[in-house]
Amino acid sequence: MTVTVENLTKIYRSDGGGVVAVDDVSFEADQGELFTLLGPSGCGKTTTLRSIAGLERIDEGTITIDGETVATPGASVKPENRDIGLVFQSYALWPHMTARENILYALKARDWPKDDRDSRIEEVLDLISLPEMGDRYPSELSGGQQQRIAFARAVAYEPSVLLMDEPLSNLDFKQRRRMRRLLLEMLDEVGITTIYVTHDQEEAFEISDETLVLNQGEEAQQGTPQQLYEHPQTPFVASFLGEANLFPASVDAVDRADRRARCTVSEGSTRIEMECTYRDESVLSNPTVVIRPEDIYPEARTDGAAVRETNRWSGTVDHRFYRGSFTQNLVDVGDIQFKIKTDKPVLDEGEDVAIAVDPGDALLVSSG
Ligand SMILES: Nc1ncnc2c1ncn2[C@@H]1O[C@H](COP(=O)(O)OP(=O)(O)OP(=O)(O)O)[C@@H](O)[C@H]1O
Ligand SMILES: [Mg+2]
């Protein structure tokens, strides 16, 4: 089923005033899609999800599930009458019930046919690959296992939409990775439209079909993970999704045919010229250059090949952070500092180095 959110605004009111938690947000999650809401703490992800679930009254906009309007400011379908399953960060399993009883509780609440309840419970325990754990209490299960039970309970009554709010954030790093894969397999099997909330960019990248980035209650940008990473539209999106060098710039000349612009970047007493690329002319009035650290190459890495003549600067390695599978370096070109990523620790602190970037990898976005 398709979930459509149009111009959603939610304000939490109190005596002292109000917090605009969600501000005019619109998106659509298509049938079977895994749609993520991604953004920093407090940007309105949970509020958006709770509005779709029917747990919050909305102030403006419309929420539609498969063509049926379930929420407007004036009218709201009750949560239990929306065809939705919910999974929370805290799992929210009943501690005094076994895994099986937790699932049964959900089936009863949704009037699942009595005769079919036992077989349905076995089915979903199989789905989460925990067929033998049905009689355990939550306290007798690991965090990852509890989360799988919570998932089984959420999909047991075959809702058409699944909402998940940071479901993996209580797990440790390795478990989280394993659970992501498992989650994808389970969702694939169920084929359910899913809206998934996370503040973890890596998680969003790994699991999402489509992602909406939120910033302070507002839409920042929507796209596939690759679109967002390669074509961020703002400095916020560029830096929230991965590492980025961000340099406010002024434009000196524009080559419209090739979408190239010659810019000046200044910091302190240093000014450098930079050939950049852009997608939309509207950014040229107030641009910031975005360069990913992996797109800057130091001379030491070029294996003797000619280093380009334009967009090449001499600098000094200020710092080297060894991270195992890659090394991050800070290179000072006068007062301008570049973050550079190399797959081998080829640079030493204090070393003089020439660095270069292809104009196609120096993307101008609007400073906003
Ligand atoms: N019940 C409430 N009353 C008043 N303000 C609230 C309430 N719930 C949330 N807020 C505020 O609304 C804004 C959005 O909160 P929300 O919980 O949706 O953010 P979030 O993106 O889910 O953050 P996190 O990643 O920390 O979970 C925040 O500024 C928050 O303080
Ligand atoms: Mg939240």
CATH fold of the domain at 3-235? Rossmann fold (3.40.50)
Q: Average pLDDT, stretch 178-193?
A: 89
Q: Quote the ligand 1 centre to 360 CA distance (angstroms).
A: 39
The continuous run of DSSP H or E covering 317 comes out as strand 312-322
Q: Which single residue is written with the structure tokens 């009111």?
A: 13
**Mean pLDDT to the nearest integer, 65-91:** 91
The string over 244-270, giving b where at least 16 C-beta atoms fall within 10 Å of a residue's C-beta and e elsewhere, is bbbbebebeeeeeeebbbbbebeeeee
Is the CB–ligand 1 distance for residue 94 below 6 Å?
no
Task: Quote the pLDDT of residue 33.
Answer: 95
For the chain, the structural domain boundaries read 3-235, 248-366
CA–centroid distance, residue 311 to ligand 2 (Å): 42
Mean pLDDT of the chain: 92
Rounded mean pLDDT, 191-211: 94
- The residue nearest atom 3 of ligand 1, judged by CA position, is 12
Cα 101 to Cα 145: distance, rounded to the nearest angstrom: 15
Summarised one tens digit per residue, pLDDT across range 310-364 is 899 999 999 999 989 999 999 999 999 999 998 888 888 999 999 999 999 999 9
CB atoms within 10 A of CB 72: 14
Whether 147 lines ligand 1, by a CB cut-off of 6 Å, is no
Q: Is 220 in the pocket of ligand 1 (CB under 6 A)?
A: no
Question: Quick one: angle between helices 173-190 and 117-127, nearest 10?
Answer: 130
The C-alpha torsion from 184 through 111 and 58 to 215, rounded to 10°, is -10
Q: Residue 84 Cα, ligand 1 centroid: separation in angstroms?
A: 21
- Predicted confidence band of residue 171 (pLDDT cuts 50, 70, 90): confident
Of the chain, the end-to-end C-alpha distance in Å amounts to: 36
Q: pLDDT category, 305, cuts 50, 70, 90? A: low
Alpha carbon nearest to ligand 1 atom 27, residue? 41
Whether the model clears a pTM of 0.85, i.e. scores above it, the answer is yes
Domain 248-366 maps to which CATH number in 2.40.50.140, 2.40.110.10, 3.10.560.10, 1.10.1050.10?
2.40.50.140
Q: Is the model's pLDDT at 303 over the cut of 70?
A: no
Tell me the pLDDT band of 288, cut-offs 50, 70 and 90: very high
What ligand 1 atom has the least distance to the C-alpha of 48?
A: 18
pLDDT digits (tens, 9 = 90+) for 137-168: 999 998 889 988 999 999 999 999 999 999 98
